[in-house]
């Protein structure tokens, strides 16, 4: 059976197991009228049977399917003719790729060499055997579990406690996924980054000012050594993020002040969600908007003023990114302003301050730590934003502070280096992971700092 069919069969058997366990428990005490003689509800006995039936079988199936491919490939390689087997690891992996393609039906069997055809036939044969064995094992395990559990069911059996213990473990298991995700990110990105740093020195990477990630195809090629100095990328990221924040912070902050302190409640109820729509628009839409409308418009205005504006200028990307970030700043600042106790405002009014004086000298000062935290979160978002800069900022790694020129960013380079075909051991590909590591560390630091500041601020007024 194919894995999908087997999973479906297992589901059916599990449903059957539930009914067998449930009816067995009822039969033991003699029907629903005497159900109080059971320790647990009949459905608990059913659930217990179903769990014993499904969980071990699923575990075995998962392990089996993850190992299957590697083991079969190993066997197929062992049976290849000696001439092919002794090829270098790279060439061998090419042959095995052909085998896989034939097996998957991507390549017609007639178009490959006899060796590959033989190997793929063997692969298919072994896979068939493996699937058959898996089917037998899973079916025996699940049905065997039903028989054993059924014979163990007694009215005194604490089925509920057992089921609930398992459920609690499952809940706990789900909660660890967040930790594993972080570990996975750190491990995978750091691992590839360290491979990169074994080829390129971290000092050159972090402090070099020239970025041209080309690697030679031949060793004697002209200009063969790529240079991986990431400073232009960091500077470009900083420039675009700065422009974005210069747009988003004033507009976001003043919107929050107006909505929290001045606006009529009716105006607020429809204006606030409308502003938040800006945060819900996919970033790819902003990228298109920047590349199609804002970039050419800025270029046109620049020309009429006699300025030379690049069509993929940092200004266009930063401006559109700023629009996207407005709602982050405004909704966080709004929360912070609303959290300032009314008594502080009343005190200021009692001293004769006008509303704006109260806001500027009392409310904003009280809310400042929270607002700073919100702005830090927004900065981290701007740094990590990808699609807008990929579509609207350039690829040229210029080291400049002029917002009218094209700059490139960390995220743009990650995308450029990794989209398309790639080999996992060239510094060009690995550089993307090194950039990813920098990105992750910087945003993580900003987030931790921001969350810490915000939490401290919240505690102050609670």
What separation, in Å, do the N-terminal and C-terminal C-alpha atoms of the chain show? 61
Q: Which of positions 39-98 make contact with other proteins (CB under 8 A)?
A: 66, 69
Q: Looking at 134-142, 309-317, 361-369, 410-418, which segment touches other proteins (CB under 8 A)?
A: 410-418
Q: Which of positions 295-334 make contact with other proteins (CB under 8 A)?
A: 323, 326-327, 330
CB of 354 to other proteins, least distance (A): 5
93-109 per-residue burial string, b: 16 or more CB within 10 A, e: under 16: eebbebbbbbbeeebee
Record the tokens describing residue 92, joined without a space: 């061998």
> Which CB, 143 or 335, lies closer to other proteins?
335
Other beta carbons within 10 angstroms of residue 59's beta carbon come to: 11
> Which CB, 82 or 179, lies closer to other proteins?
179
CB of 437 to other proteins, least distance (A): 9
CB of 348 to other proteins, least distance (A): 13
Q: Is 381 in the site for other proteins (CB under 8 A)?
A: yes
> Which CB, 210 or 288, lies closer to other proteins?
288
CB of 114 to other proteins, least distance (A): 26
Q: Which of positions 336-375 make contact with other proteins (CB under 8 A)?
A: 354-357, 359-360
Record the tokens describing residue 88, joined without a space: 């270098």
Q: Is 423 in the site for other proteins (CB under 8 A)?
A: no
Residue corresponding to tokens 């057992």 = 162
Q: Looking at 50-58, 108-116, 363-371, 437-445, which segment touches other proteins (CB under 8 A)?
A: 437-445
CB of 24 to other proteins, least distance (A): 22
> Which CB, 60 or 65, lies closer to other proteins?
65
CB of 85 to other proteins, least distance (A): 21
Q: Is 171 in the site for other proteins (CB under 8 A)?
A: yes
Q: Pattern 7-26, binding to other proteins, x per CB under 8 A?
A: --------------------
375/357 Cα distance (integer angstroms): 23
Q: Which of 135, 126, 141, 145 is nearest to 5 (CA)?
A: 135
357/396 Cα distance (integer angstroms): 47
Kindly give the residue spans of alpha helices, DSSP state H, lying in 208-354: 231-257, 265-280, 283-289, 295-304, 314-339, 342-350
Report the DSSP beta bridge partners of residue 227: 212
Q: Looking at 51-59, 220-228, 366-374, 438-446, which segment touches other proteins (CB under 8 A)?
A: 438-446
Q: Looking at 91-99, 196-204, 224-232, 247-255, which segment touches other proteins (CB under 8 A)?
A: 247-255
DSSP assignment of 376-438 equals HHHHHHHHH--HHHHHHS-S-------TTS----HHHHHHHHHSS---TTSHHHHHHHHHHHH
> Which CB, 54 or 387, lies closer to other proteins?
387
Instruction: Specify whether the CB–CB gap between 383 and 443 falls below 8 A.
Output: yes
> Which CB, 26 or 450, lies closer to other proteins?
450
Q: Which listed residue (170, 203, 351, 368) binds other proteins by CB under 8 A?
A: 170
> Which CB, 239 or 247, lies closer to other proteins?
247
> Which CB, 294 or 366, lies closer to other proteins?
294
Q: Pattern 261-300, binding to other proteins, x per CB under 8 A?
A: xxx-------x-xxx-xx-xxxxxxxxxx-xxx-------
38/317 Cα distance (integer angstroms): 69
Q: Pattern 172-201, binding to other proteins, x per CB under 8 A?
A: x-xxxxxx-xx-xx--xx-xx---------
Q: Which of positions 98-157 make contact with other proteins (CB under 8 A)?
A: none
Record the tokens describing residue 142, joined without a space: 């699940």
DSSP assignment of 24-68 equals HHHHHHTSGGGGGGSSS-HHHHHHHHHHHHHHHHHHHHHHHHHHH
Instruction: Specify whether the CB–CB gap between 381 and 328 falls below 8 A.
Output: yes
> Which CB, 291 or 348, lies closer to other proteins?
291
Q: Which listed residue (160, 195, 428, 458) binds other proteins by CB under 8 A?
A: 160
Instruction: Specify whether the CB–CB gap between 50 and 21 falls below 8 A.
Output: yes
């Amino acid at each position: 059976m194919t894995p999908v069919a087997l999973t479906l069969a297992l589901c059916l058997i599990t449903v059957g197991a539930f009914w067998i366990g449930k009816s067995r428990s009822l039969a033991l005490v003699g029907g629903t009228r005497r159900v109080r003689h059971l320790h647990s509800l009949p459905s608990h006995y059913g659930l217990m049977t179903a769990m014993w039936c499904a969980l071990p079988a699923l575990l075995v199936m998962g392990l089996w399917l993850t190992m299957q491919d590697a083991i079969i490939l190993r066997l197929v390689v062992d049976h290849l003719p000696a001439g092919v087997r002794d090829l270098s690891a790279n060439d061998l992996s090419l042959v095995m790729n052909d085998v896989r393609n034939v097996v998957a039906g991507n390549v017609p069997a007639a178009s490959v060499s006899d060796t590959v055809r033989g190997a793929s036939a063997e692969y298919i044969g072994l896979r068939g055997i493996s699937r058959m064995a898996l089917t037998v094992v899973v079916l025996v395990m699940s049905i065997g579990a039903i028989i054993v559990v059924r014979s163990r069911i007694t009215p005194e059996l604490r089925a509920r406690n057992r089921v609930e213990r398992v459920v609690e473990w499952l809940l706990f298991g789900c909660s660890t996924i967040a930790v594993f995700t972080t570990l996975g990110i750190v491990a995978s990105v750091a691992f590839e980054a360290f491979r990169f740093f074994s080829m390129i020195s971290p000092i050159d990477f972090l402090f070099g000012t020239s970025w041209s990630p080309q690697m030679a195809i031949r060793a004697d090629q002209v200009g063969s050594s790529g240079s991986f100095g990431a400073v232009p990328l960091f500077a470009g990221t900083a420039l675009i993020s700065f422009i974005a924040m210069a747009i988003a912070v004033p507009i976001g902050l003043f919107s929050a002040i107006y909505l929290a302190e001045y606006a009529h409640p009716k105006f607020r109820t429809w204006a606030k969600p409308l502003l938040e729509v800006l945060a819900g628009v996919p970033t790819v839409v902003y990228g298109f908007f920047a590349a199609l409308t804002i970039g050419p418009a800025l270029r046109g205005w620049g020309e009429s003023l006699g300025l030379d504006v690049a069509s993929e200028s940092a200004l266009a990307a930063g401006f559109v990114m700023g629009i996207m970030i407005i709602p982050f700043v405004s909704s966080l600042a709004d929360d912070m302003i609303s959290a300032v106790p009314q008594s502080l405002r009343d005190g200021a009014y009692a001293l004769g301050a006008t509303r704006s004086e109260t806001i500027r000298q009392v409310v904003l000062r009280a809310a400042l730590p929270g607002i700073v935290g919100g702005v830090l979160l927004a900065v981290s978002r701007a740094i990590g934003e990808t699609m807008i800069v990929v579509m609207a900022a350039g690829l040229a790694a210029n080291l400049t502070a002029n917002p009218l020129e094209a700059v490139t960013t960390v995220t743009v380079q990650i995308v450029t280096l990794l989209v398309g075909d790639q080999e996992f051991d060239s510094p060009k590909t690995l550089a993307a992971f090194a950039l990813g590591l920098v990105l992750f560390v910087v945003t993580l630091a900003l987030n931790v700092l921001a969350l810490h500041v915000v939490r401290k601020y919240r505690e102050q007024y609670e």
